[in-house]
């Protein structure tokens, strides 16, 4: 499906939870969504329209903790970045690993690097931090003071 078709579909399914769309280049789109509905949206992308989950990128900005979930439409090379913004004080979001095995490791890594909590993660536990840095330390967080 084309980018326009995708936007139409997702807006009709999730209406008010789609907070904005941004066409980047020929085949890249960023869709800003309500973090509370990420589970349904990701399920729709992975199970209904069969996009491939590439990875999730987290970053820390003045606005808060932002996560981009990157999905690929391999039939035409489009990449869709699903964007969520989480607050500074309590960065929490539902874990996609509940139904998407491919998200398991990256969510654990994002937790160790940024301190974002992934609720109901089926397999929480250290991934890369064991022996490398202490509990409660989140090395990729930035200091905006």
Partner 1 sequence: MSEQKIIPIGPYHPLQEEPELFKLYCEGEIVRDIKWETGYNHRGIEKLSESKSFDQSFFLVERICGICSTSHPFAFANAMEEIAEVDIPDRAKYIRSIVGELERIHSHLLWVGLAGHFLGYDTVFMWAWKYREPVLDLFEMISGNRNSYAMFKIGGVRRDIQSDKLPKIRGTMKFLKKKTDLLTGAVMDDPVIHARTKGVGILTREDILEYAAVGPTARASGVDIDVRRDDPHAAYGMVDWKVITSTEGDVFAKAKVRLLEMFESIKIIEQCCDGLEKLKEGDIETVVKNVPAGMGTGHYEAPRGEVFHFVKTIGTNSPARHKIRAPSYVNIATFKKACVGQTISDATISLAAVDPCYCCTERMAVAYDYGSGKKILSASELIKQSQKRTDYIKRNI
Partner 2 sequence: MDECIGSNRHCAELFWILKIVAVGFKDFCFKKSLWLFHYGGASCNNCDIEILDCLTPRYDVERFGMKLVGSPRHADVLLVNGSINQRDKDRLLEVYDQMSKPVKVVAIGACGCTGGIFAEGNTFAGPVDKLIPVDAYIPGCPPKPEAIIAGIVKLIETM
The residue ranges that bind partner 1 (CB under 8 A) are 24-25, 27-28, 30, 50, 52-55, 57-59, 61, 68, 70, 72, 74-77, 79, 81, 100-102, 104-106, 126-132, 139-140
Q: Which does 55 bind (CB under 5 to 8 A by kind): partner 1, partner 2, none?
A: partner 1
- Which pair of structure tokens corresponds to residue 95? 């874990």
Smallest gap from residue 92 Cβ to partner 2 (A)? 25
Is the Cβ of residue 15 or residue 26 nearer to partner 1 in the bound state?
26
- Which pair of structure tokens corresponds to residue 71? 């999905």
Cα 41 to Cα 120: distance, rounded to the nearest angstrom: 17
Q: Which does 127 bind (CB under 5 to 8 A by kind): partner 2, partner 1, none?
A: partner 1
Which residues of this chain interact with partner 2, rule CB under 8 A? 130-133, 139
Smallest gap from residue 15 Cβ to partner 1 (A)? 26
Write out the H or E segment, with its range, that includes residue 42.
helix 38-43
Is the Cβ of residue 38 or residue 110 nearer to partner 2 in the bound state?
110
With contact defined as beta carbons under 8 Å apart, do 68 and 81 qualify?
Answer: yes
Cα 15 to Cα 141: distance, rounded to the nearest angstrom: 33
Enumerate the β-bridge partners of residue 56.
69
Strand 64-73 and strand 52-61: the pairing is: antiparallel
């Amino acid at each position: 499906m084309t980018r326009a078709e995708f936007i139409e579909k997702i807006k009709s399914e999730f209406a008010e939870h789609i907070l904005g769309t941004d066409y980047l280049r020929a085949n890249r789109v960023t869709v800003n969504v309500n973090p509370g509905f990420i589970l349904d949206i990701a399920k729709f992308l992975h199970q209904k329209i069969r996009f491939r989950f590439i990875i999730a990128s987290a970053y820390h900005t003045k606005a808060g903790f932002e996560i981009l979930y990157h999905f690929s439409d391999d039939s035409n090379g489009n990449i869709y970045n699903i964007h969520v913004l989480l607050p500074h004080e309590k960065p929490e979001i539902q874990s996609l690993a509940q139904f998407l095995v491919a998200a398991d490791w990256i969510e654990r890594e994002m937790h160790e690097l940024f301190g974002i909590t992934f609720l109901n993660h089926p397999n929480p536990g250290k991934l890369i931090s064991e022996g490398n840095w202490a509990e409660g330390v989140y090395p990729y967080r930035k200091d905006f003071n």
